[in-house]
Amino acid sequence: MFARLHVAELPRANRDTLLLAAFFGLIHVLYYWLGGIRFDVTGLKYEWQFLDPALLQNHLFESLWCLHSQPPLFNLYLGMVLKWAPSGYPAVFQATFVLLGFLLYLSIYRLLLRLQVSPVIAFTVSTAFVSTPSFILYEHWLFYSFPVAALLLYSALALNRFFRFGRARTCALFFALLMLVCGIRSSFHLAYLLVAVGTLWFACRSRRRSIILAATVPVLVIAAIYTKNEVLFGHFTSSTWMGMSLAKMYLPRAPSALDALRRDGAVSKIALISPFSPIESYPESVIAAPTTPFAAALRATRKSTGFPNYNHVGYITISDQYARDVLNVVIRDPAIVVRPMLRAWSIYTLPSSKYKYLPRQPIEPLLWWYERVVAGRLPIFMFAEQVHLIPLLGLPLMFSAGVWFVVTSKGQRSVADRATLFFMLCTIAYVGFVTNSLEIGENNRFRFETDPFYVVLTGLFCDDLRRRWLRCERVTYDASKTDLNRSARALGIPP
């Protein structure tokens, strides 16, 4: 007979994993029951960031070589799944994202425990995050935002483990995860990876050789992507869209204002066209010929699905011209950047579920309740965006609390904990500054990539309040006991 293994006999880590798996499954069953939410793969047809699915399936590496609009790793993932499972790819995509979601849930919980947060608070905070409509919607949407959020949280966990145990393989894992982030998301520049390497090298003097060895391959991989784009397209970057993003943000869209700037010679005729318009909307004189005659990813104006191909080589020239127009306008009137940046930050504070391309319809009634009650939507507007009180106040509060923990807890928290918090805070600040300075309209989606960090900071904040409350109770109890002893001695009663 086989001996029965009861759950209570399992190690603590295994029991926690089983408990989290049970809650994770229950949450998904409830969402399925409430709205019948399904994994949304329709973005394969039209998302600007994706190459033509026919090219990904039939000419994967040739198309990735000619990809200049985005870093290649997420398109590589899409192409590999399409080639491996041409008919069952929706199930493969869903399984991948759900697995990432469970690992993200488990990693938040374990990172909170490593940061000395109470298990009850760690479980409550991590489960609350996984239960939000934002988590479920991004987990059920084929886009890179959810994988980036998961990879960033995994990297924080790997960094904490490296500082605790000093193992070279953990350091290699940390840099490999950051390499994946930089290879998926263009806003995570090569400079972000290099700063992470330099900071870790400076902070860990006794392990510098291990750090350099662990960082060499990730840095070379990302540098190779940038170098390829420099050689083929003349841009040392992972995305050639920055000019169009800046134009969308900083060029006035009022026809009268644009006509006036055009007459003054401040902008070109391209500025009169809305950024990210189909390639046919632009003059043929500014659309360069493909650099390689065989590359359909560069010369096709439309994907096989009928939607615009934003990797057309002409967008490189167009984006460069937009960038020059924006620079001329900003030089003429530097104050023009203020209002777009303020509006970008106001969008940043919206619930991440309020993004129009998410598959919201199945749980729309729940979203109505969530965004009004939980997120505290108010009937007022700020920079054309409706105010949601909880994220508007909670995000800066949690960030400030994280800075406080790093600065004031030198003798109370380990070096590993403070280094992990420092990494999370720097990443939050980096994402907020870069995305809200260069892009407008999707800033709450960009913030979702760092929402797990805000969740960890929330757990730390709640645990700090708990500790302060316990200390106050202890002081009150000791004071009461002292007063009672004094009264007993005054009455001649033995204490």
* Model pLDDT for residues 99-135, shown as the tens digit of each residue: 999 999 999 999 999 999 999 999 999 999 999 999 9
Residues with Cβ within 8 Å of 278's Cβ and at least 6 positions away in sequence, in order, are 301, 308
Q: Which of 75, 81, 87, 86 is nearest to 51 (CA)?
A: 75
What's this model's pTM, rounded to 2 decimal places?
0.92
Phi, psi of 234 (to 5 degrees): 75, 20
- pLDDT-derived band at 5 (thresholds 50, 70, 90) equals very low
pLDDT at residue 84 tops 90: yes
pLDDT at residue 290 tops 90: no
DSSP track, 319-376? HHHHHHHHHHHHHH-GGGGHHHHHHHHHHHTS-TT--TTS--GGGHHHHHHIIIIIS-
pLDDT of 4 reads 45
pLDDT of 455 reads 97
| First-to-last C-alpha distance (Å) of the chain | 61
Amino acid, res. 229? N
- The beta-strand segments (E) located in 431-471 are none
Cα–Cα distance measured from residue 458 to residue 467, given in angstroms and rounded to the nearest whole number = 14
DSSP track, 101-166? HHHHHHHHHHHHHHTT--HHHHHHHHHHHHHSHHHHHHHTB-SSHHHHHHHHHHHHHHHHHHHHH-
Cα–Cα distance measured from residue 338 to residue 273, given in angstroms and rounded to the nearest whole number = 23
- Using alpha carbons, list the distances in angstroms from residue 84 to 87, 93, 212: 9, 12, 36
**For residues 295 and 66, is the Cβ–Cβ distance under 8 A?**
yes
Share of the chain above pLDDT 70, in %: 91
Q: What is the pLDDT of residues 300-329, one digit of tens each?
A: 999 999 999 999 999 999 999 999 999 999
CA 31, chain centre distance (Å) = 23
pLDDT of 3 reads 42
Between 26 and 293, where is the model more confident?
A: 26
pLDDT of 380 reads 86
Between 495 and 77, where is the model more confident?
A: 77
pLDDT at residue 423 tops 90: yes
Residue with tokens 């967008």: 315
